[in-house]
Amino acid sequence: MDINFNKNEDHNKLLLSDLKRRLTKVKLGGGEKRIAKLHEQGKLTARERIEYLLDKDSKSIEIGAFVGDEMYQEHGGCPSGGVVVKIGFIKGKQCIVVANDATVKAGAWFPITGKKNLRAQEIAIENKLPIIYLVDSAGVYLPLQDEIFPDKEHFGRIFRNNAIMSSMGITQIAAVMGSCVAGGAYLPIMSDEALIVDKTGSIFLAGSYLVKAAIGESIDNEVLGGATTHCEISGVTDYKAKDDKDALDKIRNIVDKIGGYDKAGFSRIEPKKPTENPEDIYGILPKSRGEQYDMKEIIKRLVDGSEFEEYKEGYGQTIITGYARIDGWAVGIVANQRKVVKTTAAKTKPSEMQFGGVIYSDSADKATRFIANCNQKKIPLVFLQDVTGFMVGSKSEHGGIIKDGAKMVNAVSNSVVPKFTVIVGNSYGAGNYAMCGKAYDPRLIFAWPSAELAVMGGAQAAKVLLQIEASSLKAKGEEITPEKEAELFDKIKARYDKQVSPYYAAARLWTDAIIDPLDTRKWISMGIEAADHAPIEKQFNLGVIQV
């Protein structure tokens, strides 16, 4: 191992240590005092409920752990968006579980909470996965009601999705394990089956205080909408549970009886571990995002047996395409090559050098063909992003880079096989789009701690923004000395660097998670297993493209 490998390894393991530290903090939700208060009430926390519900020692992945990170600080924060979402197994059946975190503002819905719940439902709809709601929420967070109440992607969309999923035959089970008020009361009742925990669960359109204010009736919450009321009088709920664990046991028993499903039929054989050591990834991935490295070395440490059948190896070399298996599942890999390569492609001069991480015309053409092939063969696609964008300049423009890039975007957009996106390093500009960014409906999109998402890199963006700000200040009569310019540059870059952080993206659900690179195989495998629940009903069609 050379010195650079050791430096890279130290740097990436520090990033991983920071990720684990942040996750530990996030998992405390609203804090230890609020967790203790829940326990005093005889209730489990959202995470404890999910842990009890899922099969012991089975695989699971968490969606959106960093949602809300450093957002809503003036309102006390909103760790994990006030809701915990996991994909895991219940009685051997893959499900998605959504649990309100009552330690965060009594489980109230912030705008980002709504976005995260909709993402969970989107995953259930795309993959036809059973979805379990563990409800414990005070409803909409009123100080921000204008950002969550009336729009298409706001709170009401949840109930619309309940109805759509029901019509699709997707199992929905809800357990009311705390408050369930106002519009939120519709969620459990629009599910297939609803449970309620005695004495701690309650459902009503308006609580006792509001009822008193509205119609003058004096009544306590338990009589108004407790378990006995809804299981024996209104018939709103189907099962009464004596406590949290009893409710979760009942859910496990219900899920156990769910029948089989039609499979999409993606190819899977006996899994094999990579023969190359996956931990080498920490040393291969460079400390500086501008440095070169060979993405093929990363691929070898992600795929079964480190076996990769490369497609068009000598053509369009700044994108790597090829077939492999991950945890036994057949996949087509589209990856950005980050080292400088020589090319003899028709649109360039013989032996001309191409910059790593940049998409050229020949690379885009190759990727388009490969994506079409994977759709033809019903092979899920995995995109490994480390892209700075498309090549610019007169030679590229005259060679039709926009046309070739558009073909690639077209192929990604119209792909009918499941797509999974891993942001390894840079994810800049239109490169993010072409390599299946969030806007292009990957089934799952997740980042390594080394990831950066932005229109362009921090240094380039800061230079552009500096020119604009300097011109503005000069117009006001201010003198811009070299020292002042350097100070402005550092200030702008620091602000921009914060926005390109993977945590900034994860907080806003632009990605589903930030993960240890060694967990990549698990995420892709569970994602394809989920996708296998949903047979492909559309045919791949590129539509109209310019050849």
How do the pLDDT tens digits run along the chain, 547 residues long?
A: 589 999 999 999 999 999 999 999 999 999 999 999 999 999 999 999 999 999 999 999 999 999 999 999 999 999 999 999 999 999 999 999 999 999 999 999 999 999 999 999 999 999 999 999 999 998 889 899 889 888 888 889 999 999 999 999 999 999 999 999 876 788 888 999 999 999 999 999 888 888 888 899 899 889 999 999 999 999 999 999 999 999 999 999 999 999 999 999 999 999 999 999 999 999 999 998 889 999 999 999 999 999 999 999 999 999 999 999 999 999 999 999 998 877 765 555 544 668 778 999 999 999 999 999 999 999 999 999 999 988 877 787 767 788 889 999 999 999 999 999 999 999 998 999 999 999 999 999 999 999 999 887 667 777 777 788 888 878 888 888 888 888 888 888 888 788 899 999 999 999 999 999 999 999 999 999 999 999 999 999 987 766 5
CATH number at residue 205: 3.90.226.10
* Residue 458: both structure tokens together: 């921090």
Distances (CA, A) of 208 to 105, 182, 187, 292, 528: 20, 12, 20, 64, 47
One domain, residues 364 and 460 = no
Q: Are residues 331 and 373 in the same domain?
A: yes
For residues 76 and 125, membership in a common domain is answered with: yes
- Whether residues 373 and 421 share a domain: the answer is yes
Note the pTM of the prediction, 2 decimals. 0.93
Looking at residue 547, what is its pLDDT?
Answer: 59
**pLDDT of res. 350:** 45
Residue type at 413?
Answer: S
Question: Domain check: are 396 and 495 in the same one?
Answer: no
Q: Are residues 520 and 372 in the same domain?
A: yes
DSSP state of 79: G
Work out whether strand 358-359 and strand 319-326 pair parallel, antiparallel, or are unpaired.
unpaired
- pLDDT at res. 198: 96
According to DSSP, the β-strands at 61-63 and 83-90 are antiparallel
Does residue 286 fall inside a structural domain? yes
Provide the pLDDT for residue 483: 84
**pLDDT, position 546:** 63
Residue 6 resides in a domain: no
pLDDT of residue 341: 78
Same structural domain for residues 422 and 332? yes
In a domain, 10, yes or no: no
- The predicted pLDDT at position 399 comes to 72
Q: Is residue 21 part of a domain?
A: no
Same domain assignment for residues 490 and 430: no
Q: Does residue 442 sit in the same domain as residue 464?
A: no
Q: Is the domain of 348 the same as that of 480? A: no
Answer yes or no: do 160 and 215 share one domain: yes
Q: How far is CA 540 from CA 375, 415, 439, 479, 546, in A?
A: 6, 6, 19, 59, 17
**Residue 442 resides in a domain:** yes
Is 547 within a domain? no
Per the structure, how many domains does the chain have?
3
In a domain, 232, yes or no: yes
Side chain identity at residue 129, one-letter code: L
Residues 6+ apart with CB under 8 A from 209: none
Please check whether residue 516 lies inside any domain of the structure.
yes
SS3 at position 175: strand
What is the number of alpha carbons within 13 Å of residue 359 lying toward its C-beta? 35
Cβ contacts of 117 within 8 Å, gap of 6 or more: 83, 85, 98, 109, 158
Task: Report CA Rg, the chain.
Answer: 26
Q: C-alpha angle with apex 428: 330 to 124, nearest 5 degrees?
A: 45
Residues 482 and 517 in one domain: no
| Torsion sign (Cα): 161, 167, 171, 173 | positive
Dist CA 431 CA 123 (whole Å): 24
Q: How far apart are the first and last CA of the chain?
A: 46
| 8 A C-beta contact, residue 66 and residue 514 | yes
User: Residue 384 is part of which domain span?
Assistant: 279-451+511-533
CB 54 within 8 A of CB 89: yes
Contacts 24+ apart (CB under 8 A), 525-528: 525/59, 525/271, 525/326, 525/327, 525/328, 525/329, 526/59, 526/60, 526/61, 526/87, 526/94, 527/418, 527/420, 527/443, 527/444, 528/266, 528/268, 528/326, 528/329, 528/331, 528/380, 528/418, 528/420
